[in-house]
């Protein structure tokens, strides 16, 4: 009997996902499913991919297999949500969805949310190594627009709502037992633990040391958990609510944020000169913070201080990184929220001081924040660059002829593609998970088409901004 190297299959699967090779990923996840037939993650992942490929019947069958496995293992809430997704794709699975839904009680709490399923027609770049030329870009959204985040009829979101309600209503106690000096306190769940099984997401860690005064919310309002589900969808089930007192630092320069977070209640303030100059000091309810935890290399984040008592939803970086890589709808909402902070700070650099406010506004509408996985090509030698890139956190390599140059935060690459249609003389790829600003060629051409002097003015400013100090822009 031939022994299957599951570790190798998983590595090849993740590589195929990072490079956007959908069909290859489907084949690999099918092999992993056969090698690990009792793990519901793999048929669920296969269903996600098949649904994206438009093969609804096969996707529904894969979801049904995952639902049956989760049901046998006691994860009734997750099983019911996935079975309903199967029934939505193929009514033949309606009986299974009804049967599993009958088992779910209001206090059911899945230990891990179902995988996020991207919209079939969403073409926003999402860090998988494929950036479609001519993709429309949107301007940063206002915080009030983030409430339209997730369809109320999404079955996974409904299951996440139940799990979040039980999360905030359950008693939790803080324990300092076994905690070494300098470490944050552990938060202990007083409820019985769910059945143990391997999880795709690592367990959520406690708040960072900068928020040591925070205590886990035991009397959080159900409305707060509902808002979190609206903003996060199924990812809300892996979030953890914590109360941070006024004056405490949510993020500090001394150490990177331990995980991405969403401000559920209250407000915070960015304590940096660029934020003051960019007019984006205030962080309102519904905004994302802690994006520095997604980068694969060390960064010095800015300081974010709670203005009043804040309720924060903390998430594990691996969970958010995966959602950004596989779900363009979620990636678009995240980009709009984080971009409303990062773009004004970057445009507040000295290189852009000479630009009229209207020109900076046009440039801001073209820029978007993207998360890109490691080993993804951004600029391909011999082809026209489809976008200019600004590295805010992470690492890049630029290769020209036989010379390989490491590129750090603050560098701007690919500007030549904005200027002419000539093929690039170098290639650029990510060496670690990275956070970047992306300026697509198509979007830049639209805003500068009718005004020739504006085009030259913006190109000069972009070149002047290369190698600027971006320390403290990320939170």
Look at the block and give the residue holding tokens 């991207």: 118
The answer to whether residue 346 scores a pLDDT higher than 90 is yes
Q: With beta carbons less than 8 A apart as the criterion, state whether 459 and 424 touch.
A: no
- Give per-residue pLDDT as tens, 6-56: 778 888 888 888 777 888 889 899 889 888 888 888 999 998 899 888 888
Topology of domain 143-176+204-347, per CATH?
Jelly Rolls (2.60.120)
Query: Most distant CA pair in the chain: distance in Å?
Result: 71
Is CATH 3.40.50.720 correct for 351-464?
Answer: no
Looking at the chain, the whole-number percentage of residues with pLDDT higher than 70 is: 73
- Give per-residue pLDDT as tens, 104-153: 754 444 444 444 344 444 434 444 343 443 333 333 333 333 333 333 33
Label the pairing between strands 403-407 and 434-440.
Answer: unpaired
Mean confidence (pLDDT) of the chain: 75
The residue ranges of every structural domain in the chain are 6-101, 143-176+204-347, 351-464
- CA-based torsion, 304, 305, 306, 312: positive or negative: positive
Label the pairing between strands 240-244 and 310-314.
Answer: antiparallel
CA–CA distance, 61 with 295 (Å, rounded to integer): 36
- Give per-residue pLDDT as tens, 360-379: 888 998 999 999 999 999 99
- Give per-residue pLDDT as tens, 242-283: 899 999 998 888 766 778 999 988 999 998 888 888 888 898
pLDDT for the residue 151: 36
Is CATH 1.25.40.10 correct for 6-101?
Answer: yes
- Give per-residue pLDDT as tens, 215-225: 343 444 567 77
Of residues 7 and 349, the one with the higher pLDDT is 349
Question: What is the mean predicted confidence (pLDDT) over 390-409?
Answer: 90
CA–CA distance, 221 with 52 (Å, rounded to integer): 35
The answer to whether residue 475 scores a pLDDT higher than 80 is yes
| 385: β partners | none
- Give per-residue pLDDT as tens, 74-103: 888 888 888 989 999 988 899 888 888 888
Q: With beta carbons less than 8 A apart as the criterion, state whether 394 and 433 touch.
A: yes
Give me 67's structure tokens: 């639902």
Of residues 70 and 254, the one with the higher pLDDT is 70
The answer to whether residue 436 scores a pLDDT higher than 90 is yes
**Range among 22-26, 174-178, 204-208 rated most confident:** 22-26
CA–CA distance, 164 with 239 (Å, rounded to integer): 8
- Give per-residue pLDDT as tens, 403-417: 889 999 999 999 999
Q: With beta carbons less than 8 A apart as the criterion, state whether 448 and 388 touch.
A: no
C-alpha dihedral, 63 to 68 to 73 to 74, nearest 10°:
90
pLDDT band at 450 (very low <50, low <70, confident <90, very high): low
pLDDT band at 451 (very low <50, low <70, confident <90, very high): low
> Matching CATH topology for 6-101 and 351-464?
no
Looking at the chain, the whole-number percentage of residues with pLDDT higher than 90 is: 26
The pTM assigned to this predicted structure is 0.56
Look at the block and give the residue holding tokens 């593609």: 417
CA–CA distance, 261 with 312 (Å, rounded to integer): 6
Task: Report residue 163: phi and psi, to 5°.
Answer: -65, -35
């Amino acid at each position: 009997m031939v022994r299957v190297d599951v570790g190798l299959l998983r590595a090849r699967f993740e590589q195929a996902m990072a490079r956007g090779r959908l069909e290859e990923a489907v084949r690999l996840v099918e092999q992993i499913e056969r090698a690990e037939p009792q793990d519901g993650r793999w048929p669920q992942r296969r269903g996600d991919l098949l649904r994206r490929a438009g093969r609804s019947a096969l996707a529904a069958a894969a979801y049904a297999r995952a639902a049956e496995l989760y049901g046998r293992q006691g994860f009734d809430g997750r099983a019911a949500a996935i079975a309903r997704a199967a029934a939505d794709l193929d009514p033949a699975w309606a009986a299974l969805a009804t049967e599993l839904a009958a088992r779910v009680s209001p206090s059911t709490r899945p230990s891990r949310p179902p995988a996020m399923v991207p919209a079939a027609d969403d073409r926003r770049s999402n860090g998988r190594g494929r950036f479609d030329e001519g993709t429309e870009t949107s301007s940063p959204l206002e915080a009030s627009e983030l409430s339209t985040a997730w369809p109320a009829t999404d079955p996974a979101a409904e299951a996440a709502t139940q799990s979040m309600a039980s999360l905030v209503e359950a008693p939790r106690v803080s324990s300092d037992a076994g905690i070494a000096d300098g470490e944050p306190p552990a938060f202990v769940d007083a409820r019985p633990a769910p059945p143990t099984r391997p999880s795709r997401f690592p367990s959520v860690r406690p708040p960072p040391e900068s928020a040591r005064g925070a205590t886990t919310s035991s009397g959080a309002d159900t409305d707060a958990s509902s808002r979190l589900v609206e903003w996060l969808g199924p990812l809300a089930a892996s979030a953890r609510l914590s109360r941070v007192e006024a004056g405490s630092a949510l993020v500090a320069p001394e150490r990177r944020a331990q995980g991405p977070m969403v401000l559920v209640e209250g407000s915070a303030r960015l304590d940096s000169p660029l934020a003051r100059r960019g007019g984006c000091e205030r962080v309102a309810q519904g905004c994302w913070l802690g994006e520095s935890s997604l980068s694969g290399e060390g960064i010095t984040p800015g300081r974010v201080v709670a203005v009043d008592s804040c309720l924060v939803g903390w998430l594990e970086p691996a969970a958010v990184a995966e959602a950004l890589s596989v779900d363009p709808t979620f990636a678009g909402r995240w980009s709009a929220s984080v971009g409303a902070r990062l773009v004004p700070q970057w445009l507040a650099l000295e290189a852009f001081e000479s630009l009229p406010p209207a020109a900076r506004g046009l440039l801001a509408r073209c820029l978007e924040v993207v998360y890109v996985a490691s080993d993804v090509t951004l600029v391909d030698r011999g082809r026209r660059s489809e976008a200019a890139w600004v590295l805010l956190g992470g690492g890049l390599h630029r290769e020209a002829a036989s010379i390989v140059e490491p590129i750090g935060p603050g560098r701007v690459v690919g500007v030549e593609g904005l200027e002419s249609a000539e093929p690039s003389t170098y290639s650029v790829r990510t060496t670690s998970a990275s956070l970047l600003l992306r300026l697509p060629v198509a979007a830049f051409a639209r805003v500068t088409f009718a005004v020739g002097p504006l085009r030259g003015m913006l190109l000069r400013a972009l070149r002047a901004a290369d190698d600027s100090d971006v320390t403290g822009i990320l939170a």
